[in-house]
Amino acid sequence: MVDDGRPIWVGVCWDDLAASPEQLGRIAAASHADPIIWDGEAPAPDVEVLIADDVPDVIPREVPHLHLLQLISAGVDTLRGHPVWCSDVAIATASGVHGVQIAEHVLMLLLALRRHLPSYVEAQCRHEWAHERPAEGELYGLTLGLIGYGHIGRGVAHLARAFGMRVLATSASVREAAPLAIPGASPFVDLPAVPMPGHAPDQLLPLARLDDVLAQSDALVICAALTPQTTGMIDANALAHMKHGSYLVNIARGKLVEEAALVQALRDGRLAGAGLDVTADEPLPSDHPLWGLPNVIITPHISGKSSHYVERTVNVLLANLDRLRRGEAPLTAVDRQRGY
């Protein structure tokens, strides 16, 4: 679509979070028309761009002029098999809106595991001054492995480097190893009592080198998209390649990990702990063995939540509306062949 000055009719089908009047006003200014608040059921023949959380099954049948589906999420695995996936409607994600809060959530989980926070919280609930605990560890000097190096992976890498960690990352989009440029540096570089770790440099590696990353990582963070190729990629074999006493954090999708193998690795000490914001079945069943493991921290798929979420997502929509007017592809367009 090339801008001819006419309105672009934008539909808003957003149950979880509501845009403010000011944000709706900015959408109206960019589209030259008031947004259409749509319940996802009645036909919406005028809508050309739709921003949605839970995509209605009537798309694209009841929205015949739809050019662009703007998701409020980064993942698109739930759309496979949906009629819109097999249509020619462009799909854009909200990739980029999660990099800050999820990166902070990852570091929170790693610090809590490394510093034995759950045991202190339990002691506090018992009103117990539980001073005798295993020596608390540090993140400083450890190697962090990242599976996936998009906006979230880069955000995690930035914070990890601020904690003095070395970072290795794998990406399905790279074919050979390359240096990993991460903004920011350790705040401890000038302290003679805290020398910088003598690690090899940070690297970005192809996914084929995953075993190398597993073997070197003291903490592994999963940031990859769920596709048929990545489903169950962290299985018993992958866990066997991980460093003894390492940590695993999953903020991507639960089905990237074989949970039975993960439980076994946590029980037998292969892994020192796990921080899980996602599980294969959500909500996690109350009788699942992960609940009872003392070296596991579970959060209910909330790492992406933020008071800034709506504003950032609206900004993605506005940028893509501008590109649509110029006849350009969305910044966050989904590649259906790759699955994300």
Burial 260-280 (b: 16+ CB within 10 A, else e): ebbbebbeeebbbbbbbbbbb
Q: Helix, strand, coil: what percent of the chain each, to 5?
A: 30, 15, 55
The tokens 């009841």 sit on which residue? 62
Residue 241 is a catalytic residue: no
CB proximity list for 162: less than 8 A, separation 6 or greater? 184, 185, 186, 187
| Cβ atoms 20, 310 nearer than 8 A | yes
Question: Which one of the listed residues 41, 122, 136, 282 is annotated catalytic?
Answer: 282
The tokens 């993605």 sit on which residue? 316
Question: Which one of the listed residues 158, 301, 311, 312 is annotated catalytic?
Answer: 301
CB proximity list for 237: less than 8 A, separation 6 or greater? none
d(CA 149, CA 171): 6
Residue 301 is a catalytic residue: yes
Going across the sheet that includes 166-171, the strands are 178-179, 203-206, 166-171, 143-147, 219-222, 246-250, 271-276, 296-298
Residue 259 is a catalytic residue: no
Question: Which one of the listed residues 105, 114, 154, 253 is annotated catalytic?
Answer: 253
Pairing of strands 143-147, 166-171: parallel
| Cβ atoms 237, 264 nearer than 8 A | no
Q: Which positions are catalytic?
A: 253, 282, 301
